[in-house]
Amino acid sequence: MPLGYTGSLTMATTTQSTVRPFTNEPITDYRKPENVAAMRAAIEKVRKELGREYDLVIGGKHIRTDEKIVSVNPAKPSEVVGIHQKAGREHVEPAMQAALAAFEKWQYASVEERTGVLFRTADILRKRKFEYNAWLVLEVGKNYDEAEADTAEAIDFLELYARQALIMDQAEPIVQLPGERDFLRYIALGVGAVISPWNFPNAIALGMTGASLVCGNTVILKPSSDSPTIAAKFFEALEEAGMPAGVVNFCPGSGATFGNGLVEHPKMRYIAFTGSRDVGLEIHTRAAKPQKGQVWIKRTVLEMGGKDTIVIDADANLESAVEGVTAAAFGFQGQKCSACSRAVVHEAIYDQFLDKLKTSVEKLQFGLPEDNAKIGPVINEGAMKSILNYIDIGKQEGRLVTGGSRVEGEGYCIQPTVFADIAPEGRLSQEEIFGPVLAVIKAKDYDDALAIANNTEYGLTGAVYTTSEDKIERAKREFHVGNLYINRKCTGAVVGANPFGGFNMSGTDSKAGGTDYLYLFSQAKSIGQKL
């Protein structure tokens, strides 16, 4: 049977001719009672594993440390999800040596062997999707739909990158010179650090890891301390799929000690990171300084923050715009780098838009993620305090339309909050909040709206609602973001259709989920052989 979205765990090799064309993983419909029941059963099953202790895994060896990382359910912080070992600076060298040793063999593994690991891992996730979703519900507070999108995207990344590796393996130079045989080979870089975030802890972490290993690299994986259990679960899937020991080394740990040690190590070849602007810039700076014994320029693949804008012009379909802004601003509590944190609205419809938006936002349901509530917790207490501080700033800079408080209860829950009359240069308009807070800004006209949309240091996602073809074409030319959407929300990039990555301080425009992503994890070797 050809591999693809219905792959076989028992198939040993893959070739381009045996792989079906890429198709996005179907999304489970949680309006159907049978799917809701399946999720509830998976949550109960997963809950029986809560509190388990997980080891560091370096070169296939399991290691325990004195210091621990305790991961909790942000909706119920008294509930421990997992206990993890905390890698420190003393673990940098063992992890590097294990990855280097594995690289000696893995870099020469056939493309069939490397893609087989990805296809089989995707198959494992697909068959246990409800369980993976349940871990996302309990460890990071996603509702069913958000968890489903995360796991489906992880599967899509694996499926797409495996196919692209097969295509790259068949690359040929444009010209074959007379009397010569010319070759083009994409070869591995070496050992990479994958430093992954908590907000898409399955998709992004597995996407960066899968891209790394399918190109022949080996990885030291440092997942976020807020979501190490999910990383442990997909690491187990990689092992089950036949990944050799040391190809990926599982190392939750401190960014200040273990993370910085990885970035600075002279044998580190590249760093793939998704997270905040400040941390990304620090990684870029540390990686740029050559260390004693270093013989290459370290590569950084950085996906950083955003201050994303939806522009609503006077001729927009107002109901559609309100629906899109509500979903993009408050889906997963606004904890997406692509989230709409600014709505720039033409003055002719400004008041009408605010009235409709207030009604829409106040309909959002609070509750536990395990009950599939629309709005749940933010990730931790520190994030909650930071967001509440921005709400205080908003009360000084603008007019509170709705929300503005913490929700009573054990979890780290904050009301979806909307501020009107925010100045384009205000803090609420310029600084990434990463929470359920939306700034609404009045624009004089379409020219003014586009100018405001481009006035931040970021350039990740954006959207425009208008019925004017001329204005749509102007947005395509002038709205400077890596992912632009017309008459739809600015979140929800789909693998293969919307390669994801931003401009300016939003990162290196890495375009995850696109056909060129693997070039970032490989290097081209041109060979000319005289006949």
Q: Is 303 annotated as catalytic?
A: yes
Dihedrals phi, psi of 55, to nearest 5 degrees: -95, 160
- 16 inside domain: no
Whole-number average pLDDT of the chain: 96
Residue with tokens 């294990």: 98
pLDDT of amino acid 14 = 60
Task: Calculate the alpha carbon distances from 141 to 33, 331, 377, 418 in Å.
Answer: 21, 12, 6, 22
The candidate with the shortest Cα–Cα distance to 184, out of 501, 422, 469, 526, is 526
Strand partners, 526: 184
The predicted model gives 331-360 an average pLDDT of 98
Q: How many helices (H) and strands (E) does the chain have?
A: 15, 21
Residue 9 has pLDDT above 70, yes or no: no
Predicted confidence (pLDDT) per residue in 244-293, tens digit? 999 999 999 999 999 999 999 999 999 999 999 999 999 999 999 999 99
- 84 inside domain: yes
How many domains are there within the chain? 2
SS (H, E, C) 109-164: CCHHHHHHHHHHHHHHHHHCHHHHHHHHHHHHCCCHHHHHHHHHHHHHHHHHHHHH
- Cα-Cα-Cα-Cα dihedral sign, residues 204, 511, 303, 28: negative
The candidate with the shortest Cα–Cα distance to 40, out of 137, 149, 126, is 137
Predicted confidence (pLDDT) per residue in 195-207, tens digit? 999 999 999 999 9
Residue 447 belongs to a domain with what CATH number?
3.40.309.10
pLDDT of amino acid 2 = 37
pLDDT of amino acid 4 = 45
pLDDT band at 61 (very low <50, low <70, confident <90, very high): very high
Local structure of 204: helix, strand or coil = helix
The end-to-end CA distance of the chain, in Å, is 40
Supply the range of the domain harboring residue 376: 308-494
Residue with tokens 């993620």: 369
pLDDT band at 16 (very low <50, low <70, confident <90, very high): low
The candidate with the shortest Cα–Cα distance to 104, out of 61, 161, 168, 59, is 59
- 32 inside domain: no
Strands (E), 123-276: 180-188, 191-195, 218-222, 248-250, 268-274
Residue 29 has pLDDT above 60, yes or no: yes
Q: Which of 303, 340, 370, 490 is catalytic?
A: 303
The pLDDT > 90 percentage for the chain reads 96
Sheet of 76-85, strand order: 52-54, 76-85, 68-73
Q: Is 49 annotated as catalytic?
A: no
Same-domain check for residues 260 and 232: yes
Predicted confidence (pLDDT) per residue in 468-511, tens digit? 999 999 999 999 999 999 999 999 999 999 999 999 999 999 89
pLDDT of amino acid 18 = 79
Same-domain check for residues 295 and 315: no
pLDDT band at 529 (very low <50, low <70, confident <90, very high): very high
- 20 inside domain: no
* More confident call, 17 vs 225: 225
- 23 inside domain: no
Residue 69 belongs to a domain with what CATH number?
3.40.605.10
> Which amino acid is it at 185?
R
Same-domain check for residues 490 and 513: no
Q: Which of 159, 215, 251, 337 is catalytic?
A: 337
What does the alpha-carbon distance between residue 375 and residue 372 come to, in Å, rounded to a whole number? 9
pLDDT of amino acid 11 = 38
- 229 inside domain: yes
